[in-house]
A = this chain, B = another copy of it.
Amino acid sequence: MSEGVEWAMHCCLTLDWLGEDRPVPTAKLAASYELPPAYLNKQLQALVRAGILTSTAGVRGGFQLARPLDKITLMDVVTAIEGSDEAFHCMEIRRRGMGAETPERQLRVPCAVTTAMRKAEMAWRRALTAQTLADVRANADRHAPNLGDSIRRWYARG
Q: Does A128 contact B (CB under 8 A)?
A: yes
- Docked Cα-Cα span, A89 to B89, in Å, equals 22
Are A119 and B112 in touch, CB under 8 angstroms?
A: no
Within 8 A of B (CB), among A1-24: 1, 3, 5-7, 9-10, 13
Are B127 and A10 in touch, CB under 8 angstroms?
A: no
B contact residues around A90 at 8 Å (CB) = 6
Q: Given A6-B93, A112-B136, verify A87-B127 contact (CB < 8 Å).
A: no
Are A1 and B116 in touch, CB under 8 angstroms?
A: no
B contact residues around A122 at 8 Å (CB) = 127
Number of this chain's copies in the assembly equals 2
Find A10's partner among B5, B93, B147 (CB 8 Å cutoff): B93
Q: Does A143 contact B (CB under 8 A)?
A: yes
**Distance (whole angstroms) from the CB of A26 to the closest CB of chain B:** 14
Are B136 and A113 in touch, CB under 8 angstroms?
A: yes
Q: Does A68 contact B (CB under 8 A)?
A: no
**Which A residues are closer than 8 A to B by beta carbons?**
1, 3, 5-7, 9-10, 13, 31-35, 74, 87-91, 93-94, 96-99, 102, 106, 109, 112-113, 115-117, 119-124, 126-128, 131, 135-137, 139-140, 143-144, 147, 150-151, 154, 158
